[in-house]
Homo-oligomer: A and B are copies of this chain.
Amino acid sequence: MGERMDPSVITDLMARALENRDILSIAAGFTDNSILPKQLVREAVLALTEADAPNGILQYGLNQGKLGLREEIRQWLEGFPGERGGCIGTDQLIVSNGSQQSLYLAMQTLCDPGDIVLVERPSYFVFLEMLKGLGIEAVGMPSLPDGRIDLEGTAGLFDDLKYSGKWNRVKALYLIGYFANPSSRCVPEADKVELAKLMDEKDLFVPVLEDAAYRDLYFKEPYPARSIFSLEAYDPLPKLFLGTFTKPFATGMKVGYGVCSDAHWLEKMLSTKGHHDFGTSHFSQGIIEYVLKQGLYESYLQHQRKHYSEKADMMDEALEATGIRDLGWAWDKPEGGLLMWLRGPEHIDTRIGQPFCETCIDRGVLYVPGDLSFTGNEPDNCVRLSYGALESDRLVEASRRFGEVAKTFS
């Protein structure tokens, strides 16, 4: 069968949550219902459905995505400080059902079963599940204790792959550049550049994917690293940069995008997209285009950034208050995104089915076990927590519950 089935981890966790109605989930990466842009969407739809507005907004659109929206996205991306002007063309953009679909199309068109994709440690676990489904092997590049990519270790990994005969099965490299899922870390520009140099040195000429799903959700300043599209070191490589409006704007509208530097690869993705669904909802694209064009996205983001920054503080303070940092738990307060990544003492085992996890469920709090974000040889003492969805009181209570369990086990 074309796709191998794996029980979805998310589905499993959600089922557990539903068994206990009092349970508080800081597991799923949902956004906050209370600030979803209902009024902005209403305003956009009212404008798009005025009596004399063209009905075409409800017609099929282009498989590649609405041209007006692609132009808005192009301008948006070029507006980040330091990005090279003119480095992105609307013809390089594909609009998809979330950036997830662009990721899927990328993997479908680049890889056959048995191929290898290089990922960070940790990496986005839904992506890792997708790779499993497609029969693709994820191989983690080593990381330093502070979470950055271990470039020396990665050089060693490249050599190992060469000597073990797996080198020509490596088909892509996947980076999460900004406020990563799950670690909330960003990749410093210097590290991106060094990685490209290492690839060049080792003759690893494969496409690089940079996932920037949370880039717009910085709290104070845009993270000062240019995207791989603007870095000369990446000029020789095929590139796909991925962004989305699901996290920073209207989650449930499922509009994301990819920017692809390689015309042949993009053509293959578009052909496959044509087979999937021949185009993402033209109506939803029209709504997002309107919001961008009217300058409403930026002002909405300012509100979002403040909101999530405050929620990150709340979770951080609630965790600190339990005193678990003194017991060996470590985490950085995020500077953007929706997620917090905690590492417990070595003996802690956060995996599903283990006593730590069961106790959390019993005490009414749900998290994402960290081992899911690794690809073998995983540390079992990490967790991903999200401050995205819960309202203040419940967020603080969930963090407290988690901290109390962590204290008991530490």
Contacts and interface: CB of A to CB of B under 8 A. Distances in A.
Contacts of A41: 45, 49, 58, 283
Contacts of A246: 60
A42 B49 contact: yes
Contacts of A129: 274-275
B112 A8 contact: no
Given A49-B38, A97-B277, A97-B280, A33 B55 contact: yes
A130 B268 CA distance: 13
* Chain copies in the assembled complex: 2
Interface in A129-148: 129-130, 133-134
A281 B268 contact: no
Nearest to A255: B281
B2 A107 contact: yes
A250 B57 CA distance: 9
Given A45-B41, A101-B277, A250-B283, A3 B57 contact: no
A81 interface: no
Contact of A271 (B5, B37, B63, B275): B5
Interface string A239-283: 000000010001111100000000000011001101111111111
Interface residues of A, number: 73
- In the A-B complex, list the 10 residue pairs whose CB atoms are closest, starting with the nearest: A252-B282, A42-B49, A97-B277, A36-B58, A2-B108, A130-B275, A45-B45, A3-B272, A36-B55, A33-B55
A359 interface: no
5 contacts: A36-B56, A56-B252, A57-B252, A100-B275, A130-B275
Given A41-B283, A276-B104, A283-B41, A60 B271 contact: no
A405 interface: no
Contacts of A46: 42, 45-46
